[in-house]
């Protein structure tokens, strides 16, 4: 039996099983089995050339990348070409784009890489079409644009979200505050600092049993944690990526219909053909979602340079990372730094070391030994 068939069987069994006290353990087990099979499906099998794994090879540039995911002909390439000036062929036939086309754009002083990806089809996560490669690239992006045709947004959004989820991508979500620590002996201990409303000890044990983890300490700080959250932590290879739902082709519908679309969370209606709502709204939403940190350099005794910020990602925005992004040797002569702005304790600035965490629009002066 193929992995896809095994997954289908389990999904069918889950659909048939009502959730109650008596079936909780069994359902927990099934969900864990499913997660393991899904992993098999997305792990490169080693066939062919032994390259660096699935995905398209693209040289990565810029401080952050935005990947476009969508069905064929929704207008991904038209949008990408307009944003970057890079020509990615657009046409009225499906699957115009067959590989990843990279382009760059600059916004608020940050160089961003835009990745136009081939259209995907339903079943991508199960190996259909080029979807597996496309989603593998999406996994490595700092932001995903889910591009939809406004004429049928909801059904498509559900399918695409499922495809990405199936690949271990969690959209607009923070990693659950759950830890699992293995022990030599002692069985399973569960510590929860919040009430468990959507998961119980039986389900946790069922999952751990499935992963042959007989002795460990589970700590749950996440309110309303679910079995799915718990499995995500046990599996450990999930990526948490922000996403914007781009509703394209609004030129084809009425104003009243556009108003309804605003109800879709994290969405921005646009027209890439007529270039509507992109410069004022889409780019701004993109910027907010990327959550980048701009740091202005102020040479000693001079005014800060506001024209060229050093842009860092939130996950790596210490003074140390700031130095590295200017030049790899800067830290050798580093004595300390003076920081002004949100991250500084005082309005007159704060003297800090390499570990200091910077905030957006901080100003920094470096001092050498």
Ligand X SMILES: Nc1nc2c(ncn2[C@@H]2O[C@H](COP(=O)(O)OP(=O)(O)OP(=O)(O)O)[C@@H](O)[C@H]2O)c(=O)[nH]1
Q: Which residue ranges make up the site for ligand X (CB under 6 A)?
A: 70, 72-78, 90-92, 94-97, 118-119, 248-249, 251-252, 271-273
Interface with Mg ion, residue 100, by CB under 5 A:
no
Q: In the chain, count H helices and then E strands.
A: 10, 16
User: Do residues 314 and 291 lie in contact, with contact meaning Cβ atoms separated by under 8 Å?
Assistant: yes
287 makes contact, choosing from ligand X, Mg ion, none, with CB < 5 to 8 Å by partner type, with none
Q: Is 12 helix (H, G, I), strand (E, B) or coil?
A: helix
* Chosen from ligand X, Mg ion, none, partner binding at 249 (C-beta under 5 to 8 Å by type): ligand X
According to CB under 5 A, which one of 3, 17, 29, 96 is a site residue for Mg ion?
96
Residue from 25, 30, 42, 77 in contact with Mg ion (CB under 5 A)? 77
Query: Is residue 86 involved in binding Mg ion (CB under 5 A)?
Result: no
Where do we find the tokens 């353990």?
A: 25
Contacts of 77 (CB under 8 A, 6+ apart): 88, 89, 90, 96, 97, 101, 116
Using the contact rule CB under 5 A, the part of the chain among 94-102, 180-188, 203-211, 265-273 near Mg ion is 94-102
Residue 45 interacting entry, from ligand X, Mg ion, none, C-beta within 5 to 8 Å by type: none
Residue 364: CB atoms within 10 Å: 24
- Which window, 33-41, 69-77, 240-248, 328-336, contacts Mg ion (CB under 5 A)? 69-77
Helical (H) or strand (E) element with 154: helix 153-166
Q: How far is CA 82 from CA 85, 132, 334, in A?
A: 6, 27, 42
By CB under 5 A, residue 99 contacts Mg ion: no
From the list 84, 97, 133, 248, which residue makes contact with Mg ion (rule: CB under 5 A)? 97
- Using the rule CB under 5 A, give the single segment among 14-22, 77-85, 153-161, 278-286 that binds Mg ion: 77-85
Question: Smallest distance, Å, CB 73 to ligand X?
Answer: 4
Distance CA 315, CA 357 (A): 10
Q: How far is the CB of 150 from ligand X (least distance, A)?
A: 9
Token readout for 286 is 């993109």
| Burial of 255: CB neighbours in 10 Å, binned 0-12, 13-18, 19+ | exposed
Q: Given the complex with ligand X, which of 76 and 170 has the nearer CB atom?
A: 76
Footprint of Mg ion (CB under 5 A): 76-77, 96-97
């Amino acid at each position: 039996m193929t992995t896809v068939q095994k997954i289908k069987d389990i999904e069918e069994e889950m659909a048939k099983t009502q959730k109650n006290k008596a079936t909780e353990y069994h359902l927990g087990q099934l969900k864990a089995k499913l997660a393991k099979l899904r992993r098999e499906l997305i792990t490169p099998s080693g066939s062919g050339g032994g390259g660096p794994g699935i995905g398209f090879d693209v040289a990565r540039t810029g401080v952050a990348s935005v990947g476009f995911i969508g069905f064929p002909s929704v207008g991904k390439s038209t949008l990408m070409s307009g944003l970057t000036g890079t020509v990615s062929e657009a046409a009225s036939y499906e699957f115009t784009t067959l590989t990843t086309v990279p382009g760059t754009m600059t916004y608020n002083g940050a160089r961003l890489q835009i990745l136009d990806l081939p259209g995907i089809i339903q079943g991508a996560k199960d190996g259909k079409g080029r979807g597996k490669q496309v989603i593998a690239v999406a996994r490595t992006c700092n932001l995903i644009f889910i591009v939809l045709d406004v004429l049928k947004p909801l059904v498509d959004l559900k399918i695409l979200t499922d495809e990405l989820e199936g690949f271990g991508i969690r959209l607009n979500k923070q990693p659950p505050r759950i830890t699992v620590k293995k022990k030599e002996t002692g069985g399973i201990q569960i510590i929860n600092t919040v009430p468990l409303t959507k998961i119980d000890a039986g389900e946790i044990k069922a999952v751990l049993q499935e992963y042959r983890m007989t002795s460990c300490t589970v700590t749950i700080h996440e309110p309303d944690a679910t079995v799915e959250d718990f499995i995500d932590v046990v599996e450990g290879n999930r990526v948490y990526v922000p996403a914007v739902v781009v509703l394209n082709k609004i030129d084809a519908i009425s104003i009243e219909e556009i108003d309804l679309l605003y109800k879709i969370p994290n969405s921005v209606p646009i027209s890439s053909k007529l270039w509507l709502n992109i410069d004022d709204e889409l780019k701004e939403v993109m910027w907010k979602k990327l959550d980048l940190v701009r740091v202005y350099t102020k040479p000693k005794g001079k005014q800060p340079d506001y024209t060229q910020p050093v842009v860092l990602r939130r996950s790596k925005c210490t003074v140390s990372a700031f130095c590295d992004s200017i030049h790899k040797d800067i830290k050798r002569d580093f004595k300390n730094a003076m920081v002004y702005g949100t991250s500084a304790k005082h309005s007159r600035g704060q003297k800090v070391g390499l570990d200091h965490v910077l905030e957006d629009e901080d100003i920094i002066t470096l001092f050498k030994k």
